Amino acid sequence: MAGDWSDEQNDAIVADYFAMLGDDIAGRSYSKAKHNRLLQAVIDRPRGSIEYEHQNISAVLKGFGEDWIPGYKPAFNFQASLVDAVVRRLQRHPDWLAPAARIAMGPSPSALREEAMLWIGPATDAQQCTAARGDRADDPHRPKVRCGGA
């Protein structure tokens, strides 16, 4: 079957995606290949098409600022009807957006998490003092450094 995805197909794949995402967030193992095989039988789409649609769902969720499955890198070439399917899913399951329910699932390995900021700028007095003392502050051959009355 080629062409645009129907609402029924979109709803089925979005429900499947959220099942995997729930497992991912909770740290439970799941098989993307098994989910794909089951979907092929239900929605009459080939493996590659299902894989790509999962990536499209990641893109929609990323656009909403939500967690997505890191194994499905966002692909931003999707139908508006897929956005509608994700919105329908979230409306039918508003607890998904509730922080308490999400926290109960456990830590998220989501790729949306930002890396720690890298500070590039002048060192603070404490950093300069630590650097001057070095790792061997008790070395008798190392010059004594006075830091902030220390």
pLDDT one-digit tens code per residue, 62-81: 998 899 999 999 999 999 99
Hey, what amino acid is at 2?
A
pLDDT confidence of residue 110:
46
Residue 138 lies in a domain: no
Residue 81 lies in a domain: yes
3-state SS class at 97: helix
24 CB-contact burial (10 Å; exposed 0-12 / middle 13-18 / buried 19+): buried
Residue 146 lies in a domain: no
- Give the tokens for residue 141: 């051959």
Residue 22 near residue 40 (C-beta atoms within 8 A): no
What residues make up the domain containing 55? 7-105
The better pLDDT of the pair 87, 109 is held by: 87
Taking residues 80-97, report their average pLDDT: 92
Distances (CA, A) of 88 to 30, 77, 139, 146: 24, 20, 67, 65
pLDDT digits (tens, 9 = 90+) for 21-66: 999 999 999 999 999 999 999 999 999 999 999 999 999 999 988 9
Distance CA 50, CA 43 (A): 9
pLDDT confidence of residue 95:
84
Residue 58 lies in a domain: yes
- Give the tokens for residue 130: 């630590």
Residue 43 lies in a domain: yes
Residue 140 lies in a domain: no
Q: What total number of domains does the chain contain?
A: 1
**Taking Cα atoms as reference points, which of 95, 75, 105, 86 lies closest to residue 13?**
86
Residue 91 lies in a domain: yes
Residue 60 lies in a domain: yes
Model pTM greater than 0.85?
no
pLDDT digits (tens, 9 = 90+) for 103-139: 555 555 444 444 445 555 565 555 555 555 554 555 5
DSSP per-residue codes, 70-84: TTS-------HHHHH
Phi/psi for 129 (5° steps) reads: -65, -45
Helix axes 7-26, 32-43, angle to 10 degrees: 160
pLDDT confidence of residue 45:
97
